[in-house]
Amino acid sequence: MLTTAPRLRIRRPSPTTAEFTVTTLPPRTLPLRLLWLLLLVLRISLSLVALLILYARWVQERSSFGGATAQLPSSSSSPPPPPLLSLDRLVFALDAFQSTPAGTLLARIAASVSLPVLLPVAAAVFYALSLRVHKEESLLVLRGLGVQTSESPATYLAGAATRFIPTEKIQDILVNEAFLGFEVRYYLVVVVEGEENVVVVFPGLLPRRKIVETVWRGVRECLYEGRGEDRVDKSGG
Amino acid sequence: MARKTYNIAMVSDFFFPQPGGVESHIYQLSSKLIDRGHKVIVITHAHDDRKGVRYLNNGLKVYHVPFLVIYRQATFPTVFSFFPILRNICIRERIEIVHGHGSLSSLCHEGILHARTMGLRTVFTDHSLFGFADAASILTNKLLKFILSDVDHSICVSHTCKENTVLRASLDPLMVSVIPNAVVGENFRPRDYPAPSEQGGGFRAEPSPRLLGPHDMITIVVISRLFYNKGTDLLTAAIPRILENHPNTRFIIAGSGPKAIDLEQMIETNVLQDRVEMLGSIRHEDVRDVMTRGHIYLHPSLTEAFGTVIVEAASCGLYVVCTQVGGIPEVLPSHMTTFAKPEEDDIVAATGKAITAMRAGKIRTEKFHDEVKKMYSWSNVAMRTERVYDGICGTISEEEFYGFDTSGYNNGSRIRDFALIDRLKRYYGCGIWAGKLFCLCVVVDYLFFLFLEWWFPRENIDICPDWPRKPPAKDKAQDSMKLAMSRSTSSVRVPKLDR
């Protein structure tokens, strides 16, 4: 529901530039935006819960060592809260949360799981929560300069992986077909001079033939405008 | 009336780049079918550096499916693993007919089985003869029976081959057609043959006979792989006697194999080094150059389904001496050949007769090329194969295709329908245990098909754009000719009519 089959978005900021983006992001409608918001809230709250469990465990570990107890303010006369917007205030708030019913529940969960299990599980949860829902891969064509491929990373934490190929290095851009698993798929490749392997455009999504052909036509038009007669046969790979 | 054209997939383990008869048969047939306006693709397994999808001349598309090769370029028989990729290819290429080649190719058998499950028409071409007695033959025959019990139509390269296949697979003989191989005449011209450009206008001068004096050297050529079934033992026994009886003769032997050592020993013991030349294995392109060095071609094979090589020899203007086995007697007219029984004395006698006839100038070998060119052409093979396609797809009616006898074995129609229960009935008759096993296979295959339809939905598969098609051949006149030809199935040698 949150993703669609790969679809193409073309942006032409100037006559000599075109960006072809293949994305699994569906068109934004109101229900979808609400769903996104809900998902965001869910992600944040789940990460928060995971963090709090880790913190509770840390407090327990610390208290199990004798030396650490001295740090804890055991006196019943609660000191005045530290000033707002300081690190101490955060620690104070966390400690205060520990005494609430929800806090004790999390503490009990944290205590019941052994550390070698807890840490990998927490890491996996964080990774899962940072995963992107949709994939996006794009090809930016700048006449006279070259093409740049970019693909969105798997998580929100990493940046996009891009690769720029200058025009004079591009030998050809063509559509080919090849075996992939139990299928034969069409894909767009850039043949780069001096490289043994070709560069596959949209390597992760491998959109359908219609999209690939549209992009191929668009790229050739944008890159070699006016010299479009020397079109090679697209399947001549 | 515009002819109906088909999308055809040729499935076989045997295809270029490896050399061989089946390989060139598939290539030539496909190429000529494309010329007639059909769309043809070839599905084979990957060779060392031939992987993925490639195009050959004439827009012939070849899928080199990555598979494990086990023995002599045949792939491992994994009954179902080929199905997903075959289904994908058939859908994206909009295939209507799957045509398998070679009874030892597991890819072909699997392709036919799966194609039937998918509801496509299938044709099988058999290129080889088999025995009935040894264990390997029994196994292959059982497998062949399994595959052919549901195939729409079979094609054999000679009548002997047809008889063999019908017996091995218990087929209805009318469901087997005979379409011989052919040769590319241009590649097998005799020595001193005028270039084709001169043939343009007017009459060509009648070639004058090559006369041999009594002391001129006569060269006998043998080109074959040196295996037991190719009759190398007969050759080893016959050569010393032939050379003894006929001075001024010599042998050229090309080819390699396990029996080469016997030949070499024979040459050593009889001190025939200056009269027998062993060339070792040669490439197919060089066959013509070796053949044109000789006058007589000797073919001592013990079994042969068709024997393309003797057609090639005759096309090169050689007089042919061959054993009367398998499909060989059907191949050439009697004035081009001398037959011998597959035994030493008879081969020596027949070769002697041939040498005498050559010396007497009785044989006009210079005319052989044009005659062979008229008899064997790939466009004729393609035309006849096309008629088989017409017949199984219902383009021409059943009565027209099968002739007078419209009832099948069980008084049923010969058009194979795709209903699972009917397919199971056909398989069940294969044997007490084998029948049940085959049925099981087919049922599993069908379930697998349903699974694939769900897992890889049809609409998610891209359709390939076609290579620009040639206009379909419009030949109403030839249609009726073809009909007449195939009615009289005994005539293998059909004059080439087109062009």
Do A122 and A191 lie in one domain? The reply is no
Q: Say if A209 is an interface residue toward chain B (CB within 8 Å).
A: yes
Six token digits for residue B307 = 């024997």
Q: Under an 8 A CB cutoff, do B53 and A236 touch?
A: no
Judgement on whether residues A103 and A142 belong to the same structural domain of the protein: no
**Cβ(B74)–Cβ(B106) under 8 Å?**
yes
For chain B, the structural domain boundaries read 7-182+378-487, 209-375
CATH label of the domain that carries residue A192: 2.30.29
Give CA angle at B465 (B461, B471), nearest 5°: 140
Q: What percent of chain A has pLDDT over 90?
A: 27
Q: Which residue has the tokens 């090809």?
A: A139
Can you tell me the mean pLDDT for B259-273? 92
According to DSSP, the β-strands at B176-178 and B153-156 are parallel
Q: pLDDT band at residue B395, thresholds of 50, 70 and 90?
A: confident
What is the rounded distance in angstroms from the CA atom of residue B286 to the CA atom of residue B23?
17
Looking at residue B314, its pLDDT comes to 92
Measure in Å the smallest separation between the Cα of B49 and chain A Cα atoms.
14
| Ramachandran angles phi, psi of A46, nearest 5° | -65, -40
Asked if the domains at B7-182+378-487 and B209-375 fall in one CATH topology, the answer is: yes
**Contact with chain B for residue A235, Cβ under 8 A:** yes
Name the strand (E) or helix (H) holding B481. helix B476-487
- CA distances B311 to B317, B318, B328, B350, Å, are 10, 10, 10, 19
Classify burial at B428, counting beta carbons within 10 Å of its beta carbon; exposed 0-12, middle 13-18, buried 19 or more: middle
Half-sphere exposure of B314 (CA within 13 A, CB side): 29
Same domain, A118 and A150: no
Average pLDDT over residues B179-184: 88
State the nearest Cα–Cα gap between B467 and chain A, in angstroms: 9
Same domain for A62 and A77, yes or no, is: yes
* Helix H or strand E encompassing B221: strand B218-223
Write out the two tokens for B438: 């085959």
Are B85 and A182 inside 8 Å of each other by CB? yes
The answer to whether B55 contacts A182, with C-beta atoms less than 8 Å apart, is no
Whether residue A2 is contained in a domain is answered as: no
Q: Are residues A108 and A193 in the same domain?
A: no
Q: How far apart are CA B114 and CA B1, in angstroms?
A: 33
* ipTM for this model: 0.74
Q: What is the pLDDT of residues A117-176, one digit of tens each?
A: 888 988 998 888 888 888 889 999 998 899 999 988 888 888 888 999 999 999 989 999
The closest CB to that of A186, out of B85, B456, B462, belongs to: B462
- Whether A149 and A213 map to the same domain: the answer is yes
CATH, domain range B7-182+378-487: 3.40.50.2000
A-B Cβ pairs (cutoff 8 Å, strict): 36
Asked if residue A76 belongs to a domain, the reply is yes
Q: Report the distance separating Cα B293 and Cα B219, nearest Å.
A: 7
The chain B residue lying nearest A212, using CA atoms, is B462
**Residue labelled with tokens 């129609």:** B413
- Residue B7: pLDDT above 90? yes
Q: Classify residue A94: in a domain, yes or no.
A: yes
- Whole-angstrom CA distances from B412 to B128, B406, B409 are 29, 9, 7
Asked if residues B92 and B461 have their Cβ atoms less than 8 Å apart, the reply is: yes
Say what percent of chain B tops pLDDT 90.
35
Q: For residues B336 and B328, is the Cβ–Cβ distance under 8 A?
A: no
* Domain closes at, from A72, A107, A130: A130
Could you report the per-residue pLDDT of B38-95, keeping only the tens digit for each? Answer: 999 999 988 878 888 989 888 899 999 887 665 555 556 677 888 999 999 999 999 9
Question: Angle, to 10 degrees, between the axis of helix A115-130 and the axis of helix A30-64?
Answer: 160
Give tens-digit pLDDT for B105-125: 888 988 999 999 999 999 999
CB under 8 Å to A11, separation ≥6 — which residues? A18, A19, A21
Q: Answer whether B52 sits within 8 Å of A208, measured CB to CB.
A: no
- How many whole angstroms separate alpha carbon B74 and alpha carbon B45? 9
Does A181 share its domain with A197?
A: yes
Q: Which range (B18-32, B188-202, B431-445) has the least confidence?
A: B188-202
Domain around A191: 7-25+136-230
Q: Give the length of chain A.
A: 237
pLDDT per residue, tens digit, chain A (237 aa), is 678 888 899 999 888 899 999 998 888 888 889 998 999 999 999 998 888 888 888 888 877 765 544 445 544 555 666 777 777 888 888 888 878 888 888 888 888 888 888 889 889 988 888 888 888 899 999 988 999 999 888 888 888 889 999 999 999 899 999 988 888 999 999 999 988 889 999 988 889 999 999 999 999 888 887 554 454 444 443
DSSP, collapsed to helix, strand or coil, labels residue B492 as coil
8 A C-beta contact, residue B434 and residue B142 = yes
Residue A237 lies in a domain: no
C-alpha span between B313 and B287 (Å, rounded): 9
Asked if residue B332 has pLDDT above 80, the reply is: yes
* Residue B489 pLDDT level (bands cut at 50, 70, 90): very low
Instruction: Give the CATH superfamily of B209-375.
Output: Glycogen Phosphorylase B; (3.40.50.2000)
Contacts of B92 in chain A (CB under 8 A): 184
Quick check: B378 and B32 in contact, CB under 8 A?
A: yes
| Domain total in chain A | 2
On whether residue A235 sits in a domain, the answer given is no
Is the N-terminal amide bond of A166 cis, ω within 30° of 0?
Answer: no
Q: How many percent of chain B have pLDDT more than 70?
A: 86
pLDDT at res. B430: 79
> For the residues B160-179, what does the mean pLDDT come to?
87
Q: What is the pLDDT of residue B498?
A: 41
- The answer to whether position A200 is within a domain reads yes
Q: Choose among A178, A208, A236: nearest Cβ to B462.
A: A208
In a domain, A177, yes or no: yes
What pLDDT sits at residue B121?
Answer: 92
| Residue the block writes with tokens 């009336």 | B1
What pLDDT score does B167 carry?
87
Looking at the domain assignment, is residue A59 inside a domain? yes
